[in-house]
Structure 1
Amino acid sequence: MSKAGRTAGLIGAAVGVLAAGAAAGVAVERQVIGRRSGQRKQLEAEPFGSVRGTPHVFTADDGVELYVEVDELKRSRRPEPPKRRFGRKLPLPPEDLTVIFAHGYGLNMDAWHFERRDMAGIGTMVFYDQRSHGRSGRSPRSGVSIDQLGQDLHGILEEFAPTGPVILIGHSMGGMTIMAMAEQYPELFGDRIIGVGLCSTSAGGLDRVPIVFPGKVGMLARALATPTVAALARIPEVVERSRKAGTDISYLLTRKYSFGSEVPPAFTEFVNEMIAATPIEVIAEFYPIFALHDKFDSLEPLQKVECVVIGGDKDHLTPFDHAEEIVRRVPGAELVEVKNCGHLGLIEHHREFTAALLGMIERAEQSLGHT
């Protein structure tokens, strides 16, 4: 057996032992947490996925149907004077402001649950499931790329925000989607697009981020991940049975790679359900595109708009130094570091994320002369 093969075997064995032991620990933890009451029970009662808008189907330029929901701004119901949320005044938006949200890999539009709830009234809000995710149609392999996601976002903008100022907000792969659109349509930034929020994302270099383990072993694990996921995609029935939401190992992995602090179990279950609902074939098709992602030279248009870059100090998937690198290349952008925060900060520390996004929107509107 080759050295790489022996190392891969050791990694696999180590992961198996760690997962088995941790799964037992998670089972015990669940029993302990299950006995808690008060605030924890209140948090667990959060109705994830219950905030819904007007449904639409948008056909992308290659024929893939994308599921879209629009939360219309009802000016007549807007309280006066504007409310304060998370320490910030909710500004009276321009009548035709549209805010478009793009979610991340393996998730769906419901990942924005808290932001959607707490930013209601900021403008017309548009949410959509990225191709092959959620309720959107399956993409052909030729359409599985960050560049195509950028084209999808441009189509959504043209269809659902044909006039007026636009704010773009993206998490992880959704942030990369915005970068792709900036490369393809730079003239829109500073014109139609007045603000951008980038949450837990990267402009490139993800192929140099170790996974599972730190250092060289983690880099080997990353190198082995793509062929491993591809192999698993060839036996989807077996894989789907083992990755059902609610199993202790899936719960453990979701918690480890999504959060940087203790969160209510319902938060982990919610994320776990979204990931488990994404077919293993989709996971396998999209995974390789992140190693190829390189949009450093596409960030210049973001200098023309109000921009905030938000990241967590315990994000193992898009480390905070990736947020810092984006800001280095977008002078004037606001950098927000959220402590004890993993990759799903938009859920884990949603108050901090929402406050930062509201601040960016307020500044963008002030640039138009709206207060």
Structure 2
Amino acid sequence: MTTTTRRRRVGIAGALVGAASAGVAAAAMAKRYAVGRIRLRPDTEASEPFGELRGRERTHITSDGVALHVELDGPEDAPLTIVFCHGYCLSLESWHYQRKDLRDNYRLVLWDQRSHGRSQRAQADESMIDRLGDDLAEVIEEFVPGPCVLVGHSMGGMTIMALADRHPGLFGDKIRAVALLATSAGKLAELTLGLPAALSKVVHKVAPGTVSMLGKRGAFIDRTRHAGSDIAFLITRYMGFGDSRNVSPTVVDFAESMIRATPTEVFADFYPALMNHDKLAALDVLDPVPTAIMVGDHDWLTPPEHSRAMAAALPKAVLTEVPDTSHLIQLERPGVVNDALRDLAKRVEL
């Protein structure tokens, strides 16, 4: 190879690297510009005290030795308790609007599911939906003195289904009503996530291995996640909220902060349990109690057809599909959710 040829190749390589670097820099600038423009829009929720509501803090040690963080709120002597079960990679703080709206009239129990929020990390083999159902049974036994309503979002709804499967005797006398928000009774592994069918199959084929690899490198990934906060903001805004153009940037930041606070290893530990979740048969246990099912019509993570399948198995349930709404329904449409929960509570107070 002649010196001239070598120089030409080096020059071409340098140009390619320079062009790639320029492309990356331009993409980063475009991303920052887009996020900056979003944050400059009028934000009605800018002064909302997210993460600042506090109750009477308690700790429950489960039968397998995991310390769960629990908060009690509202009047201690209220005749009805509402128990809130949060979703995957979230925390009890995700119920901010519902807590704020209902705490004056009802006794509230909010808890961080194992490995989430301020609860203790569990081992991978203890990160199962059935175990979450057992945790909920223990929380009810310790912190709910009278009748209650259960409210579950996403994985929290699955926790309620696991409770129904493993502790059916609680439903009827103790548990008077149930609300299932943006959740599923199973077949999450068949989700398309809005992708073409062929591409969706490829994603599902490689996802388990990819998630497992992420879990093994979780500590390293967690140290670098803050660097991608703008990207995480845009993904959360797009995937979590149906009306993403008008959603409050403060609300998106709040949701993204909960997701980012969840260790990557926890994300990986629970992923197989979510994909294998199948509790359609357990829904019969809910049939005797009033049940509200709510889902956003733009929810890609637990699509409306999953809520329709649950409603078909529970003909007495009230199904509400909320327009222009995605997975984080309790944060995106708090008024609609709060009204539904109040109506449900009033039905069992009579």
SS, match of residue 103 in structure 2: coil
Whichever residue aligns with residue 318 of structure 1, its letter is T
Aligned partner (choices 260, 277, 280) of residue 293 of structure 1: 277
Aligned partner (choices 282, 295, 318) of residue 266 of structure 2: 282
- 1:104–1:170 contact (8 Å) kept in structure 2: yes
Alpha-carbon displacement from aligned partner over 1:199-234 (angstroms, at most 9, x marks no partner): 000001111112372312022212211211211222
SS, match of residue 35 in structure 2: helix
Q: What is the aligned partner in structure 2 of residue 253 from structure 1?
A: 235
Q: What is the aligned partner in structure 1 of residue 18 from structure 2?
A: none
- Asked if residue 319 in structure 1 is aligned to residue 303 in structure 2, the reply is yes
Q: What is the aligned partner in structure 1 of residue 135 from structure 2?
A: 152
SS, match of residue 209 in structure 2: helix
Q: What is the aligned partner in structure 2 of residue 29 from structure 1?
A: 34
Q: What is the aligned partner in structure 2 of residue 112 from structure 1?
A: 95
Query: Which of the two has higher C-alpha Rg?
Result: 2
- 1:314–1:339 contact (8 Å) kept in structure 2: yes
Does 245-254 or 343-352 show the bigger shift? 245-254
Please report how far the alpha carbon of residue 302 of structure 1 lies from its aligned counterpart in structure 2 after TM superposition: 0.8
Change beyond 3 A, Cα 1:74–1:190:
closer
- 2:80–2:349 contact (8 Å) kept in structure 1: no
- 1:336–1:356 contact (8 Å) kept in structure 2: no
CA distance in 1, matches of 2:29, 2:180: 37
Q: What is the aligned partner in structure 2 of residue 51 from structure 1?
A: 53
Q: What is the aligned partner in structure 2 of residue 80 from structure 1?
A: none
CA distance in 1, matches of 2:227, 2:282: 37
Whichever residue aligns with residue 330 of structure 1, its letter is L
Please report how far the alpha carbon of residue 33 of structure 1 lies from its aligned counterpart in structure 2 after TM superposition: 3.1
Whichever residue aligns with residue 181 of structure 2, its letter is C
Change beyond 3 A, Cα 1:204–1:313:
same
CA distance in 2, matches of 1:111, 1:208: 26
Whichever residue aligns with residue 313 of structure 2, its letter is R
Unpaired runs of at least 5, structure 1: 1-18, 76-94, 367-371
Q: What is the aligned partner in structure 2 of residue 180 from structure 1?
A: 162
CA distance in 1, matches of 2:227, 2:308: 34
Where do 1:215-230 residues align within 5 Å? Answer: 215-230=197-212
Alpha-carbon displacement from aligned partner over 1:270-311 (angstroms, at most 9, x marks no partner): 111101111111111001111110001000111111110000
Please report how far the alpha carbon of residue 54 of structure 1 lies from its aligned counterpart in structure 2 after TM superposition: 0.5
Please report how far the alpha carbon of residue 72 of structure 1 lies from its aligned counterpart in structure 2 after TM superposition: 3.5
- Asked if residue 333 in structure 1 is aligned to residue 317 in structure 2, the reply is yes
Change beyond 3 A, Cα 1:23–1:271:
farther
Q: What is the aligned partner in structure 2 of residue 123 from structure 1?
A: 106
Change beyond 3 A, Cα 1:214–1:245:
farther
Q: How many residues were matched structurally?
A: 325
Q: What is the aligned partner in structure 2 of residue 9 from structure 1?
A: none
Q: What is the aligned partner in structure 2 of residue 97 from structure 1?
A: 80
Alpha-carbon displacement from aligned partner over 1:42-73 (angstroms, at most 9, x marks no partner): 41221111111010000111010000000031
Q: What is the aligned partner in structure 2 of residue 60 from structure 1?
A: 62
Q: What is the aligned partner in structure 2 of residue 71 from structure 1?
A: 73
CA distance in 2, matches of 1:202, 1:21: 40
Alpha-carbon displacement from aligned partner over 1:125-172 (angstroms, at most 9, x marks no partner): 0000000001101112221111000000000000001x3211100000
RMSD (Å) for aligned C-alpha atoms = 1.9
Q: What is the aligned partner in structure 1 of residue 338 from structure 2?
A: 354
Alpha-carbon displacement from aligned partner over 1:181-211 (angstroms, at most 9, x marks no partner): 0111112211111010100000011111123
Whichever residue aligns with residue 190 of structure 2, its letter is R
Does 246-255 or 49-58 show the bigger shift? 246-255
SS, match of residue 226 in structure 2: coil
Please report how far the alpha carbon of residue 245 of structure 1 lies from its aligned counterpart in structure 2 after TM superposition: 7.5
Alpha-carbon displacement from aligned partner over 1:18-48 (angstroms, at most 9, x marks no partner): x9988655422332233334xx2x4122111
Whichever residue aligns with residue 28 of structure 1, its letter is Y
Change beyond 3 A, Cα 1:200–1:174:
same
- 1:299–1:329 contact (8 Å) kept in structure 2: yes
Aligned partner (choices 176, 180, 198) of residue 198 of structure 1: 180
Whichever residue aligns with residue 29 of structure 1, its letter is A
Q: What is the aligned partner in structure 1 of residue 248 from structure 2?
A: 264
SS, match of residue 44 in structure 1: coil
SS, match of residue 164 in structure 1: coil
